[in-house]
A and B are shown apart, each in its own frame.
Chain A
Amino acid sequence: MSGTPAGRHYLNSAYGIRSWLLTVDHKRIALLYLTSVTLMFMLGGVFAALVRLELLTPAGDFFHADTYNKMFTMHGIVMVFFFLIPGIPAVLGNFLIPMMVGARDLAFPRLNLLSWYLFTIGAVFTLFNIVIGGVDTGWTFYTPYSSAYTTTNIVPVALGIFISGFSSILTGLNFIVTIHKMRAPGLTWFRLPLFVWAHYAYSIIVILGTPVIAITIVLLALERVFHLGFFDPALGGDPVLFQHFFWFYSHPAVYIMILPAMGVISEIIACFSRKRVFGYSFVAASSLAIALLGFLVWGHHMFVSSQSVFAGLIFSILSFLVAIPSAVKVFNWTSTLYRGSISFQTPMLYAFGFLGLFTIGGLTGLMLATLGIDVHVHDTYFIVAHFHYIMVGGTVMAYLGGLHYWWPKITGRMYPEWWGRLSALIVFIGFNLTFFPQFIVGYLGMPRRYYAYPPEFQVLNVMSTAGASILGVGYLIPLVYMIWSMRYGKAATANPFGATGLEWQTSSPPATENFAEPPIVTEEAYAYDRIPVPERGVYAG
């Protein structure tokens, strides 16, 4: 447990590009993912910036409508399929789950490497399509526009998403088998960290949902290339069937993004308030409840697509029900904070940011689940604001918080605390300035996906674009100091935050086989009353 970067660990156990590209070590694969996912995030961010630039003025000044359509489509595809969905599980989950269950690696290390390659190949197909002209359907690929009318490159993008879907499936499969079969002696289900529970629920959704989008994409491609009829109304096919298929996966995909984020938040809040998580078993079970209920609500995306009012009513009620396990989590985190010994480290600031943004996103979700309101704000910026609060506000805050929290474990170096807190603050301010005006402008009636708008919406759009540039700065700061800290950061001890959990019981960075000896677990997670608070000097910036 020496914990200095001088020792032998997974980063210096082998050198050279081959040792990375052929690695089967889950920790190295996590870093491969970190690199790819960060690249995709930056790319998606560039498209977002271009979209916001166009919307700075009411007239379409910068791009043609076609170009604008391709911009927001690529922003959506890249961010959803190549950042938000794989982000936390592929990077943090890959790195941490074997360690958290006390295993030497995931159950199927070579499958894990394969899933990174599939992710990369999928990303290449998708990026290749930008080079040859882009796609203009929006990330939802609604038929029959996508299958019969658009002249843009649906098939390469569909193939890219199909391939990266297999990457998700294999990751989920690996997690499920690892969590079931590779737990250390004494690590019972109800001693698992909530991060593991969240990833278990995530894996269930991935296993059950991703194959459905995969077959949907296959059918779309078959219809487009071979003119087989499935969704084409000219043949009697039903375009709304495509929407059912699409949302059967893509609504649960929101929980694919947010459940791992919730796992991260549980770890951070317990550590930085130095308390057991209030209602541990309820938080664990609520992950499973979200996973199961999440499959029953896809119809709330289709209130205005010829669905019967009765079906709409059922989907509306079921959508309300998902709020219950989500609220269970938020209230339990709040109760954990109550009378806790809170320290405002960077990860905790990001966690607070998560709580605020997720709550706003969740409550507006209740508004949208209400049939009447949804019909009013359908396909307006209100929707855009809502899902950015949930998917981006929730997932990115947790991703950055988790990255800071486990950074010492991953790299063996501390991040600069002052800069970390600054970035958390800027991201929070920038995010709210970007997306809160969109609630208002959407409620006033500005539709989404339009490249020009009436002049009365300009003030709110300028605010939003200004916020986006602040948000961009907030994301760039961690990028710079994280890279800086890998070389110049202070050496981290094995457990700089004084946290519980098996991953903190090995050196930072861990050895290739994770633990010198297989750990034996004798108590529940989050026994923070047994661990002394580390001295301030250890992690002060």
Chain B
Amino acid sequence: MFDKIISGGKLEKKVIEDIKTHIKTLCLATECFKNALTSSDIESTFCVADLEREADSIRREIISTIHEGAFLPFIRPNICRFIEMVDEAFDILEDAAFEFRYLNMEVYRIIEPECVKIASINTNICELLSIAFDSLITKGDLKEKNLAIRVYEKQVDDLKFDITEKLRKIEIKNFWEGKIITDFVEYLTRISDLIEDASDYLYIIEISLR
């Protein structure tokens, strides 16, 4: 699909490589967050912020290369929008990592198995987004990748329902304790939502190139 508009351009190739790195960095961040949750190690959540900063500079690089003239003008806003969506997932992941540091661990223990599962799904869904982007470039079956991402997202939805059920039974005595745990769950479960949106957008880009 992309070869129609790339036509051997150096700038286009650079953007594509940078987008791949951007998604891979998100995968690394979700992986590191999963490890932090699995080991309940608060210190290891700081890697998310480091990777977010790294991804921010890659994003700026991509946008400026596009403005230098990569791709035909009609496709530029779509590519920028896709990058913004991935970036939004990064921001939410960073928020989740931040809230995790302030969680009341006693309350967290109740929902820990579900949270670890979601973190693991977030890593898998991210890898699939990377595979989906490769499919867009190599004319693979993007629709299949898209469906698999939706399967993962549904699993996160079900787990969120289980977490909510558990949390409703807990007596929260402190405003901040309640706010932090609900925010944490909200951020953790939104990542897959954003990645699903990004994957949908890849499909829209593919259709618009037909």
Whether chains A and B associate is no
**B interface, CB within 8 angstroms of A:** none
**A interface, CB within 8 angstroms of B:** none
